[in-house]
């Protein structure tokens, strides 16, 4: 079968289309004929050996797929050949077929297209877990979303609005501000490109404070990291929650005295580990997302689709932070 393969350590330009043996459904597994695979930040790290997990080469990136069940392994119940499904797979999704564990598998709503099915689990699953389980969000909270025009930022905006929050999006351009507003953001802060000197950092903190209002942000949802994190923390509310979701701009260095002065929490968000450690809670979160989708309160904004042979271009676009919304490879 055809797959987009990482055969050497390197950037997206090193990925090549090659052949892999067709997967076989083992006990507790199904094989999916992949129709769509979304691109996520771990894909950019995995191919350069900077992710937590390093699959042996050759491997196909792609951790989130949607398609049709091709075969069912021993012990699997509730699923049948031909079912429309979506799944988290870690890697291997940029291929014509993939074997996945049934515990990572969800039946897609009949009205959901494959490109949406491939764009729900990681982004919206992460945001649901972050805001509910780590951020303890409640109606009326004010939420700052850094990176508010990317796929995961948009998912956080939509969920926070659906749950009764006031949302401010941090973005890097007017074009991205329009996307964040379209997703439901109540206000937008447009920031420059890091690195920032002391004065620029202070100015950004003041911009965040002005957008937050006198109370400050109850929750800061940080998908960016780097020089953007500290100015955001300076605008956090008393006993606010700072959620560490991603850091494409670099790992932030936070003065810990700020956490004392605001009595705030700094919370890591590792959705992948959460799904493995607490599968029942994760399934409940995903079921809630299906309800929000059916109600029209969330909708993946797929900004561009790519054929399999151009999957590297999709990863490159996400890596250089020029992507808006979700990028999806159609197989």
Domains in the chain with CATH codes: 2-120+300-330 (3.90.180.10), 124-271 (3.40.50.720)
Does residue 321 have a pLDDT over 80? no
Place of tokens 């897609």: 108
Does residue 23 have a pLDDT over 90? yes
Lowest mean pLDDT among 21-30, 131-140, 180-189, 245-254: 245-254
Q: How high is the pLDDT of residue 324?
A: 78
Q: How high is the pLDDT of residue 317?
A: 93
Helix (H, G, I), strand (E, B) or coil at 46: helix
| 123 touches 114 (CB < 8 A) | no
The two structure tokens encoding residue 290:
């299906």
Of 180, 182, 198, whose CA–CA distance to 190 is shortest?
Answer: 180
The Cα 60–Cα 18 span in angstroms is: 10
Place of tokens 């960016």: 224
> How does pLDDT run across 48-61, given as a tens digit for each residue?
998 888 999 999 99
40-51 average pLDDT score: 93
Does residue 104 have a pLDDT over 90? no
Of 145, 171, 133, whose CA–CA distance to 286 is shortest?
Answer: 133
Q: What is the mean pLDDT of the chain?
A: 95
Q: How high is the pLDDT of residue 76?
A: 96
H helix or E strand, kind and range, residue 281:
helix 279-294
pLDDT band at 248; cut points 50, 70, 90 = confident
In Å, how far are 206, 320, 323 from 11, measured between CA atoms?
Answer: 37, 11, 17
pTM: 0.89
Residue 191 main-chain phi, psi, to 5 deg: -110, 160
Does residue 150 have a pLDDT over 80? yes
Q: How high is the pLDDT of residue 322?
A: 78
Q: How high is the pLDDT of residue 227?
A: 96
112-121 average pLDDT score: 96
| 180 touches 156 (CB < 8 A) | no
Task: State the sign of the Cα–Cα–Cα–Cα dihedral 112, 144, 268, 252.
Answer: positive
pLDDT band at 17; cut points 50, 70, 90 = very high
Of 150, 144, 92, 152, whose CA–CA distance to 121 is shortest?
Answer: 152
Of 2, 11, 223, whose CA–CA distance to 93 is shortest?
Answer: 2
Does residue 103 have a pLDDT over 90? no
Q: How high is the pLDDT of residue 101?
A: 93
């Amino acid at each position: 079968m055809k797959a987009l393969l990482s055969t050497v350590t390197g950037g997206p330009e090193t990925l090549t289309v090659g052949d892999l043996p067709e997967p076989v459904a083992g006990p507790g597994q199904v094989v999916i004929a992949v129709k769509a695979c979304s691109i996520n930040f771990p894909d950019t790290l995995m191919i350069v050996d900077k992710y937590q997990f390093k699959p042996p080469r050759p491997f196909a990136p792609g951790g989130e797929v949607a398609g049709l069940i091709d075969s069912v392994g021993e012990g699997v119940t509730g699923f049948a050949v031909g079912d429309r499904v979506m799944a988290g797979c870690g890697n291997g999704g940029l291929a014509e077929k993939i074997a996945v564990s049934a515990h990572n598998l969800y039946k897609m709503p009949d009205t959901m297209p494959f490109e949406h099915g491939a764009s729900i689990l990681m982004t919206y699953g992460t945001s649901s877990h972050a805001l509910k389980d780590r951020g303890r969000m409640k109606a009326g909270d004010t939420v700052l979303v850094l990176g508010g025009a990317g796929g995961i930022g948009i998912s956080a905006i939509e969920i926070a609005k659906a749950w009764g929050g006031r949302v401010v999006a941090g973005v890097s351009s007017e074009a991205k501000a329009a996307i964040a507003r379209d997703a439901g953001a109540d206000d937008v802060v447009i920031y420059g490109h890091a690195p920032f000197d002391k004065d620029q950092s202070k100015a950004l903190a003041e911009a965040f404070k002005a957008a937050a209002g006198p109370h400050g942000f109850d929750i800061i949802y940080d998908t960016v990291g780097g020089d953007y994190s500290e100015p955001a923390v300076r605008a956090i509310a008393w006993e606010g929650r700072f959620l560490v979701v991603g850091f494409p701009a670099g790992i932030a260095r936070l003065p810990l005295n700020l956490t004392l002065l605001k009595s705030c929490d700094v919370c890591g968000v590792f959705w992948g580990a959460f799904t493995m450690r607490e599968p029942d809670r994760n399934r409940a979160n995903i079921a809630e997302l299906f309800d929000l989708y059916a109600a029209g309160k969330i909708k993946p904004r797929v900004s561009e689709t790519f054929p399999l042979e151009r999957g590297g271009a999709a990863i490159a676009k996400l890596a250089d932070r020029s992507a808006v919304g979700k990028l999806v490879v159609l197989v």
